[in-house]
Amino acid sequence: MPQNKVALVTGSRRGIGLGIGLALAKEGFDLVLNGVSPQADQALAQVRELGVRAEYVHGDVSKSEGREAILSQTRELFGRLDILVNNAGVAPLVRESILKASEESFDRVLTINLKGPYFLTQAVANWMIQEKKADPSMRPKIITVSSVSSFTASPSRGDYCISKAGLSMMTKLFAAELGQYGIGVFEIRPGIIKTDLTEAVYEVYNQKLEEGFTPNNRWGTPQDCGKAVAAIAADYFPFSTGESIHVDGGFHLRIL
């Protein structure tokens, strides 16, 4: 019996990450969910209801030993990896002007949001290269979830914006390097997505949307992000790499 393709989604216990995991499960991918909490029973149950195998791997992508643990357990559990989705990330603990923001906050955000995915992608890319050599029919993909903050200046979240801009360049760099091996690299740029993490700013953005903040004029959902990732994973863009896909209701458009 042929084995299902396998996807690893970091930061996937809830929110956008879980939405992506569920979308990939609907496409028939077995899943490695990941997070820094010891367990993720509820998320696993939701994914397994879709009839695929799902396992949870505890590990912190911002630490080298965490990244090593995530990949070693993925190898042990499934023996292959077809899709990496870099989704784990954090917002600043405090929104503060760049004239006052702390070095401590900068280091925390950049380490988790940029350094972690950068070196996890490096390790996964080398694994995928070996997989392609062993089985040229494989079509592996690396997909990174950034944000519209990668190109939108928010002076009260300077460290966050810089981390997301870095992910955009990371996508281009790995796309340029991995194209020769047939490994596609993509970026998803979510806009205002309704999750528990955006509860604190719900009223602010709800008011903006009522005033016509985006052309589509609604909150995005984790399912919206999941569908974009699933389309890439299903190889609907076989002649594309290094692409950034906006999932933002048209926020990125400059409209006169």
How is residue 99 written in tokens? 């004239």
Q: Say whether 160 is catalytic.
A: yes
Within the chain, strands assigned E span 6-9, 30-35, 54-58, 83-86, 141-145, 184-190, 243-247
* Pairwise CA distance, residues 16 & 179, whole Å: 27
In the set 160, 181, 205, 236, the catalytic residue is: 160
Task: Name the nearest CA neighbour of 219 among 233, 199, 240, 242.
Answer: 199
For residues 153 and 165, is the Cβ–Cβ distance under 8 A? Answer: no
> Which three-class secondary structure state does DSSP give residue 71?
helix
- Close Cβ partners of 20 (under 8 Å, ≥ 6 residues apart): 9, 12, 85, 87, 145, 222, 225, 226, 229, 230
Task: Name the nearest CA neighbour of 186 among 194, 198, 195, 174.
Answer: 174
Catalytic residue positions?
160
